[in-house]
């Protein structure tokens, strides 16, 4: 991938040169800084916070993960994340060893500005109907697995296809794309010793096919990785007594809630002790077109970012089975928020309040 970043990047081919180094990298990705889930910026923030507190061992661990996960492309000084605002598409897939599926249940576009030490994160509902010239209309979360199938015929990676499509959709050049799966989310939360969440409702759902067992009670809870995954994924109940169902907007809100909690947890003692495992968990469950050097630049630029400077902008809409028809005004405002972030324009406190979600189905 070119480091000049002028317009859309050149096509990224799925095959790699058959050098020993590249062969090793490919095997690492196949076997294996936010969710984790909907979720790289925050994860990199989490990892970076740990690095700042526990430099020695973590620096070595982080360097190893970065070298194995990032690409070996060069980064021109003027393209460094330390001096240039960047955008990233973050995909959280439902892949777990139990399912081996790749639906993108989390879809975020992140804009980062090194001068303001801030970021804006726009999230879209997974069931969003995407209608875009050149693409067959479909649910947003279906495109990535479809592109994965096409990789074998076209030789163009699904990551590149997603980045190209979402750049057109947002009318914004997206610099990078990162894919993180649900297994990584579970591992990250567990590496931090769990996460404290005020669960907003009773939740009960079981699925023997993939061993899902969500059984949460309303109130303050300390959740394990598996429980936190259930909390952000919960859609409907099949248990007795039945619990209230959730929609895409509830899940987006919960994901943002967990992300903020993870940042707090990373600053705790458990976070310090678990930071090495967090870094390794990210590396094992993440694929990205970020250059290794750029990953280090991002950590250097944003390691001390505060959660107050991470603005979450969820886009809502109206559910009409089987799609979510997103609110056009909210979407335009979200696109402008990303452009403002890149320009160094920060929202006023009143403007930063999240819009009350519209009613939606399951």
Q: What is the pLDDT of residues 154-191, one digit of tens each?
A: 999 999 999 999 999 999 999 999 998 877 888 888 88
Query: Domain coordinates of the chain in residue numbers?
Result: 23-192+262-342
What was the pLDDT predicted at 356? 42
Q: Which CATH architecture has domain 23-192+262-342?
A: 2-Layer Sandwich (3.30)
Contacts of 350 by beta carbon, 8 Å cutoff, 6+ apart: none
What was the pLDDT predicted at 272? 54
Is the overall model pTM greater than 0.85, yes or no? no
pLDDT in tens, 261-314: 887 776 665 555 566 667 677 777 888 999 989 988 988 888 778 878 989 898
- Residue ranges in 100-247 assigned as alpha helix (H): 143-154, 158-170, 182-191, 225-233
What was the pLDDT predicted at 358? 40
What was the pLDDT predicted at 84? 97
What was the pLDDT predicted at 33? 31
What was the pLDDT predicted at 273? 55
Taking 70 as the pLDDT cut, the residues of the chain under it are 1-62, 95-97, 209, 266-277, 279, 348-362
Is residue 110 within 8 Å of residue 132, measured between CB atoms? no
Query: How many of the other CB atoms lie within 10 Å of CB of 221?
Result: 17
Per DSSP, the three-state class of 351 is coil
What was the pLDDT predicted at 274? 60
By C-alpha distance, which of 359, 353, 351 is closest to 327?
359
By C-alpha distance, which of 202, 267, 192 is closest to 223?
192
- Residue ranges in the chain assigned as alpha helix (H): 20-31, 41-53, 55-69, 143-154, 158-170, 182-191, 225-233, 248-266, 269-284, 292-302, 328-343
């Amino acid at each position: 991938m070119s480091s000049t970043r002028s317009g859309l990047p050149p096509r990224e081919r799925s095959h790699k040169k058959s050098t020993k180094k590249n062969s090793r990298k490919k095997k690492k990705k196949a076997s294996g800084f936010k969710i984790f889930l909907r979720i790289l910026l925050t994860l990199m923030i989490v990892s970076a916070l740990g690095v700042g507190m526990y430099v020695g061992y973590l620096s070595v661990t982080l360097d190893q993960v970065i070298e194995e996960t990032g690409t070996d492309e060069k980064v021109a000084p003027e393209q460094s994340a330390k001096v240039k605002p960047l955008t990233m598409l973050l995909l959280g897939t439902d892949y777990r060893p139990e399912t081996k599926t790749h639906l993108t249940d989390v879809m975020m576009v992140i804009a980062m500005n090194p001068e303001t030490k801030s970021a804006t994160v726009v999230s879209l509902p997974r069931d969003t109907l995407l209608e875009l010239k050149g693409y067959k209309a479909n649910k947003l979360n279906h495109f990535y697995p479809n592109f994965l199938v096409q990789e074998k015929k076209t030789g163009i990676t699904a990551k590149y296809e997603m980045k190209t499509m979402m750049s057109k959709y947002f009318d914004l050049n997206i610099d990078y794309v990162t894919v993180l799966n649900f297994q990584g989310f579970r591992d990250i939360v567990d590496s931090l010793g769990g996460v404290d969440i005020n669960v907003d409702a009773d939740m009960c759902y079981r699925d023997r096919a993939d061993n899902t067992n969500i059984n949460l009670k309303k109130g303050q809870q300390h959740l394990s990785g598996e429980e936190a995954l259930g909390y952000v994924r919960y859609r409907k109940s099949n248990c007795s007594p039945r619990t209230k169902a959730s929609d895409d907007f509830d899940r987006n809100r919960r994901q943002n809630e967990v992300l903020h909690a993870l940042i707090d947890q990373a600053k705790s003692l458990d976070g310090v002790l678990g930071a090495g495992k967090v870094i390794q968990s990210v590396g094992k469950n993440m694929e990205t077109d970020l250059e290794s050097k750029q990953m280090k630049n991002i950590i250097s630029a944003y390691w001390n970012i505060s959660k107050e400077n991470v603005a979450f902008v969820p886009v809502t809409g109206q559910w009409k089975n089987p799609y979510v028809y997103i609110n056009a005004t909210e979407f335009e405002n979200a696109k402008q928020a990303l452009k403002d972030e890149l320009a160094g324009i920060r929202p006023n406190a009143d403007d930063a309040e999240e819009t009350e979600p519209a009613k939606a189905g399951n």
